[in-house]
Amino acid sequence: MTDRRAHYPPCHPAMLALAALVAAIQHRCDPFPELESAAARNGVAVGSEQFDEAAALAGQPYCRAVDLYVDCETKRRADALGSGMAHLAFLPV
């Protein structure tokens, strides 16, 4: 089996997301702080395009409507509601 990690630098969004998910599983915690740590270790700024892509791969995409990183379902609801009503996406369904 080929180790494909050798083809990607540590700052690649897929590698950041993978590092965050592995650390979150090992420490039994939320992956987002682990993603922030992985990004900081590899010179990737939080909020950059690279970070946004890594966050999406880790299951917490950036949602422009609420200006936050949220879970996929909340993003879907916020995007459907539009920026004026996006805050309602946080209410229970």
Which pLDDT score, from 0 to 100, does residue 40 have? 97
Is the residue at 1 inside a domain?
no
- Residues 54, 21, single domain; the answer is yes
Give the separation between CA 1 and CA 70, rounded to whole angstroms.
35
Across the range 7-35, mean pLDDT stands at 95
pLDDT at res. 1: 54
- For the cut 70, the answer to whether the pLDDT of residue 3 exceeds it is no
- Please check whether residues 37 and 67 belong to one and the same domain: no
Q: pTM score, two decimals?
A: 0.86
Give me the number of domains the chain comprises: 2
Residue 76 lies in a domain: yes
Classify residue 77: in a domain, yes or no.
Answer: yes
Domain check: are 65 and 49 in the same one? no
In this structure, the answer to whether residues 27 and 49 fall within a common structural domain is yes
CA–CA separation, 73 and 61 (whole Å): 10
Query: What is the extent of the structural domain holding 78?
Result: 61-93
Instruction: Enumerate residues 6+ apart whose C-beta is below 8 A from 48.
Output: none
Q: Is residue 3 part of a domain?
A: no
